[in-house]
Structure 1
Amino acid sequence: MADAHVSMGVILLAQTVVGFVGNLSLLSHYLFLSCMGNRMRATDLILRHLILANFLCLLCRGVPQTMVAWGWRNFFNDMGCKMVFYLYRVGRGVAIGSTCSLSIFQAVSISQGDSRWAGLKGRAHKHIVSTVYFSWGVFPLVSIVFPMYITGCRAHNNMTILKAFGYCSSVRHDPTEDVLHMTMLLVPDVLCLGLMLWASTSMLFVLYRHKQKMRHIQRTSVFTRASPESRATISILLLVTAFVSFYAMSCISQICLSVIYNPSPVLYLIAAFAMGCFPALSPFLLMSRHSTPCSLLFTCTKKKKVVLP
């Protein structure tokens, strides 16, 4: 068991470090563009909020779980536990909202002229910032119930502990309240996931139609490259696919922790790894739409202004 803890500690540490480096690199790219006076695209505004949400997730879940894997215990008091879990939940929610806004905006941007969404192209960028800030308003409000279940390991003298995480614990409440609070937490997630799947389906349909139209050109010219819109769409589709996959892994691990009466500490570490996959890997998926690292860092030397898609 000790070897398993050490191995998971190494994996979680590597995941956290890689996630911080990736998000910091992407954030530095956008700061560099801002300092050079370049106008940011609407999608870049969403991505900056996604980067901040990723930092919250890695800091509030990846770092504590790594410390637990390496043998530290009970390093948070009651207020610290509530704050860490609350900030993680907010970061996770904003990541869902940002990914949802990004997929919807891209779906509207690449919609065909005969589509009913084509009329929204000119107005989409005006509302995209509002949707992101709306996520920062909704998810902190919804997540306010989450600290009610969290307490420090040394603050449960007269409580029946439901689960212990090594550095914090969750306490048992009335079953009716549990169902109500769980519904409040799940409704925004399910709504955003549904919108993401709808937008992804729309983008796949548009890409398929575009591929059918361009098939003749691709056959006659070996140097034909995908358009910037197509590359950006594929990148966002990869991001949404990764998010849905890792979200499903996280839900499965959470269900296992809920139904198992006395889960192994390694299972908690595996669940933490599943929760940290998206914030750690998403910046690299976003950077993959650039052909080389140099083009990521020095895009502004090629274009003085970045136009809206």
Structure 2
Amino acid sequence: MTSDFWTRGILFLSLTVVGVPGNVAVIFAFLLTAYHEGHLLPADAIVLHLASANLMVVAVRCLLEVFATFEIYNVFDNTGCKAVIFIYRTSRSLSIWLTFVLSTYQCLSITPPGSCWAAARALVAQYLGVIFLALWVINTSMSVAPLMFAVGTSNNSKLIQNGINLEFCFLSFPSRLSRDANGAAQVGRDVVPMTLMTTASLIILVFLYRHSHQVKGIRSGRQGQSAERRAAITVVTLVMLYVLFYGVDNGLWVYTLTVPQTLGSSLISDLRIFFSSLYAAISPIIIIISNKKVNKQLKFGKEQKMNSDAAQSSP
């Protein structure tokens, strides 16, 4: 195994080690919240779905990349390539759009009561299940290309002209036009929520700036403001991470489509997967650090486990 493979394997292993436990912890915390409180607030439900999508990104792609790189297990035959890339693209785009929904809902949450935007927030909360379903349908339908064009590397002799090398898989398109059209659709699917969520984050930042210059009010008001600011800052931080990592990802994707020399090398593809998966691995850390509800449930779960272990060990 070459040093490049070792480096590649270690990078994806680091994402797996950080991302899988982090997202599992967030999912566990919100499931405990739903069990104890009987329901989830809309923002919590969005974060729960976001963590689930991020878990699929890290577990399905990064973990399998580690297994294949270190020759532990290789699922990347023709059928495996189709399944892995399809699930990865669907969950990746779901992660992007759920981050957009979260930023939009947080932006609507800071609007004055009684305004039309407050009414819009109520509609989003009411039809959140429909929004989730629509996102699944849209992103699944836009990720069908791998089911048609993904193949294992054993067929690489005929894939260079209109293909994209993904190390263990190839995307073999029938023509350059179909390859570029698929690439443009992928970029457009990312750029639209990127633009919208950046706009929502700017609105949140302007609100926080203006709010910081107002009179603090009574102590209970300060506490409410503190919780509101903490939630808003968390969302803005997630959006900034998204714009940074997925901006690099999409830049590399455009480079892959426009520079013919990249077709024979998987380096650009590895960098793309790494940067897009980096958001899925780091975002749960931000959520765990900043979300008091997640912290409370994780501490409660830890205490419950310690009490159970103590009860089992006692005579």
Task: Please tell me the residue identity of whatever aligns with 2:190.
Answer: D
Partner of 2:96: 96
Describe the SS at the equivalent of 1:288.
helix
| C-alpha RMSD over aligned residues | 2.9
Conserved 8 A contact 1:78-1:152: yes
- State the shift of 1:151 in Å: 0.9
Match of 1:241 in 2: 240
Alignment CA distance shift 1:117-1:299 (3 Å): farther
Query: What SS does the corresponding residue of 2:144 show, helix, strand or coil?
Result: helix
Once residues 20 and 101 of structure 1 are traced to their aligned partners in structure 2, the CA distance between those partners, rounded to angstroms, is 23
Task: Name the structure 1 match of 2:50.
Answer: 50
Aligned residue identity for 1:240:
V
Greater RCO (Cα-Cα under 8 Å, separation 6 or more): 1
> What's the TM-score, normalizing by structure 1?
0.83
Q: Is the 8 A contact 1:93 1:189 kept in 2?
A: yes
| Contact persistence 2:54–2:91 (CA under 8 A) | yes
Which stretch has the larger CA shift, 243-252 or 116-125?
116-125
Q: Distance in 1 between matches of 2:38 and 2:104?
A: 24
> Offset of 1:91 from its aligned partner?
0.2
1:67-126 deviations in Å (ceiling 9; x for gaps): 344357964221111111011010011111111111111100111358652332433311
Moved more, 140-149 or 248-257: 248-257
Match of 2:85 in 1: 85
In structure 2, the CA distance between the partners of 1:9 and 1:35, relative to structure 1 (3 Å rule), is same
Q: Take 1:56 and 1:113, find their aligned partners in 2: how far apart are those partners?
A: 37
Specify every segment of 5 or more residues in structure 2 that has no aligned partner in the other structure, as ranges.
302-315
Q: Is the 8 A contact 2:289 2:295 kept in 1?
A: no
Find the counterpart in structure 2 of residue 185 from structure 1: 186
Which moves more between the two structures, 75-84 or 265-274? 265-274
Shift of 1:157: 5.8
Partner of 1:25: 25
Shift in CA distance, 31/291, structure 1 to aligned 2, threshold 3 Å: closer
CA contact (8 A) 1:246 1:278 kept: yes
Whether the 8 Å contact between 1:78 and 1:155 is mirrored in structure 2 is no
The superposition leaves residues 114-141 of structure 1 with CA deviations (integer Å, 9 ceiling, x where unpaired) of 8652332433311233222211010001
Equivalent position amino acid for 2:59 in 1: L
Mapped to 2, the partners of 1:95 and 1:280 lie a distance apart of 11
Once residues 208 and 119 of structure 1 are traced to their aligned partners in structure 2, the CA distance between those partners, rounded to angstroms, is: 24
Provide the identity percentage. Answer: 23
Q: Deviations over 1:219-266 (max 9, x none)?
A: x99xx6652111111101111111111101212333444426156555
CA deviation digits over 1:130-169, x for unaligned, max 9? 2222110100011112433321112456544633333211
- How does 1:216-295 map onto structure 2 within 5 Å? 217=216, 226-258=225-257, 259=259, 261-262=261-262, 265-290=266-291, 294-295=295-296
Q: Which structure 1 residue ranges, 5 or more long, are not aligned?
A: 301-309
Task: Tell me the amino acid that sits aligned with residue 193 of structure 2.
Answer: C
Give the conservation status (yes or no) of the 8 Å contact 2:245–2:279: yes
